Amino acid sequence: MADKTLPFTLEFLEEITATHPTPFHLYDERGIRANARRLKAAFAWNPGFREYFAVKACPNPFLMKLLKAEGFGMDCSSLPELLLSERIGVTGESIMFTSNDTPADEFVKAKALGAVINLDDLSHIPFLEASAGLPELVCFRYNPGPLKGGNAIIGNPEQAKYGFTREQLFEGYRQLKAKGVRRFGLHTMVASNELNPQYFIDTAEILFDLAADISQAVGIVFDFINIGGGIGIPYRPEQEPVDLERVGEGVRQAYASRLIAKGHPDLKLYMECGRMVTGPYGYLVTRVRHVKKTYKTFVGLDACMANLMRPALYGAYHHITVPAKADLPRDTVCDVTGSLCENNDKFAIDRALPALTPGDLVVIHDAGAHGHAMGFQYNGKLRSAELLLREDGSVVQIRRAETPDDYFATLDFGALAPFPV
């Protein structure tokens, strides 16, 4: 059976867990940086190319600062994400603000930061104008509807709440032009965790054709096209990662034949990947707490879906390694569970693993995106610490674990005693 490897040893984990109790998320700086450089190299043919890291995937300012050093911008969709970006010194057009059902104060902050504002609906033009004023650069998010299939995570475009129709785009750009907006962007995002490289090439072709049509019909020139993100990662050992070089070359050919050949001047290309940037380089480190045998075998961990929600939410597969028993036969079929009072709090169902005993260290792979970020406090469960394995082999804590005091921080216990009942 195919397997996944770890960038650290059992001895390393035992040393770290002596001072950092499980569960915790552990990120590999070397892997993240190398992956970021590979993505940039695949699109180096476009001088203006920029990757905007999808902050929602892993909103830790230490990791964001690493990616800033690699030349990434930040893709934000909420006020706290904007504030995080500002805290690490990312402002101006290094921020792409793409949201939906957006409140006025978020538009105000995005404009104050000089971010690229990407609108989700035709009605947002007057709303932005009234709440913050129209900036000189505005982008629209396109929903291609039946032209493009979706997937289980993001949904089919026709059913998705995001973006403009084709007809609405033409009207929207005419309105912007009439209102004095001078620079224009075009964006789409129609898939998540997609492993087929041709999907991204096809998406770029649709956008390039559309941009050429709008440019000719409306009389505008696009400053950039954001072909979105959604590049998946091989969660299963038998899967292959997306061939970034193939995507880059396919997009280059489409850019030349479908945009430049039609008379549109050169423009900047952007992407907004999150999962593929940090996902494969984050690990949820946890321990077996109990082993229960009833109608089947349940291996209970000290982590739960507050630490990694994807298996419960999507039925998603995450590979599991037991470092101390990596060479033993996987002859025990079990459910790997957390302690939440929800029966779907499971990291794996009917998974073949070595026989586990309380105290065994367990590593859950590919938890570097949409892992800690999706955590919650339901059932009084607290979110775990985040650690970073530096390139020099040292480990630093980049977020402490939550405590009961954090859980109670928004409650006014002083007002409880005199509260009449």
| Nearest residue to 318 (alpha-carbon basis) of 329, 331, 340, 303 | 303
How would you class 130 by CB atoms within 10 Å of its CB: exposed for 0-12, middle for 13-18, buried for 19 or more? exposed
Q: Which of 408, 399, 364 is nearest to 61 (CA)?
A: 399
CB atoms within 10 A of CB 161: 10
The answer to whether 181 and 227 have CB atoms below 8 angstroms apart is no
Active site residue 58: no
Rounded CA-CA distance 156/166 in Å is: 16
Distance from C-alpha of 102 to C-alpha of 141, rounded to nearest angstrom: 14
Q: Which residues are CB-contacts of 4 (< 8 A; sequence separation ≥ 6)?
A: 237, 319, 321, 365
- Contacts of 245-253 with C-beta under 8 Å, sequence gap 24+, read 245/42, 246/197, 247/42, 247/197, 247/200, 247/201, 248/41, 248/42, 248/43, 248/44, 248/45, 249/42, 250/197, 250/198, 250/200, 250/201, 250/204, 251/43, 251/200, 251/201, 251/204, 251/227, 252/45, 252/46
Q: Which residues participate in catalysis according to the annotation?
A: 341
